[in-house]
Amino acid sequence: MNLVSGRPDSRDRWEGPSTLLARHLSPAGSRLQYACRPLSRPGFTLLEVIVALALLAVVAIALLQVVVGNLRATEDARDRTEAVALAQAQLVELERLPDLEEGAYVGQFGEAHPGFSWSGSIRATPWPELKQVTVKVQWRRGRRDKELVLETLARRHPGEEKEPGTLPAEEKGLP
């Protein structure tokens, strides 16, 4: 309602029973203003939106950390699996050496396995017919150096060629 003329104003309309209209004079004193909006108005307040975005950000960061952790674990498992396969292959190669010559050995795995290198040794044991064969595979992931060590005992008869994983004829129970 216009205070000067006393007639209804365009702002004076019925907005339903759930509307809370508290009117007060503007600082200039010439117009009426609505102090509150309808209680049933759909939508979210700015505070609700900010809280929801903050919660979403916390959850997203936590999920990203889980995903990154899983990727690192998968990468580490793949590298370790490859290192085990390479170390086992290198153990077989060292076991094929004639008479299991004692000493230290080093090498690279080539372009098929970049970043992986190996070192190995064959050492005497308290049992003269057995030698300790050790292979260490090294690789670098990020800023960390990693390694895997495999050891086994190998038996070799002097001057006898042996296929990996086979026993001499007398140990098989053959005449």
pLDDT in tens, 79-103: 999 999 999 999 998 888 877 888 8
**For 141-152, what is each residue's pLDDT tens digit?**
888 899 999 999
DSSP the chain: --TTT-PPPTT-----TT----EEE-TTSSSEEESS--TT--S--HHHHHHHHHHHHHHHHHHHHHHHHHHHHHHHHHHHHHHHHHHHHHHHHHHTSGGG--EEEEEE--TTSTT-EEEEEEEE-SSTTEEEEEEEEEEEETTEEEEEEEEEEEE--TT----TT---GGGGT--
> Which CATH topology does 46-160 take?
Pantoate--beta-alanine Ligase; Chain: A,domain 2 (3.30.1300)
> What average pLDDT score do residues 69-81 get?
94
Is the pLDDT at 20 greater than 80? The verdict is: no
Residue 169 has pLDDT above 60, yes or no: no
Record the pTM.
0.58
Rounded CA gap, 65 and 111, in Å? 33
Distance, CA of 28 to chain centre:
64
Q: Domains of the chain: which residue ranges?
A: 1-9+16-42, 46-160
Residue 137 and residue 85 in contact, taking contact as beta carbons nearer than 8 Å: no
Percent residues over pLDDT 90 in the chain: 44
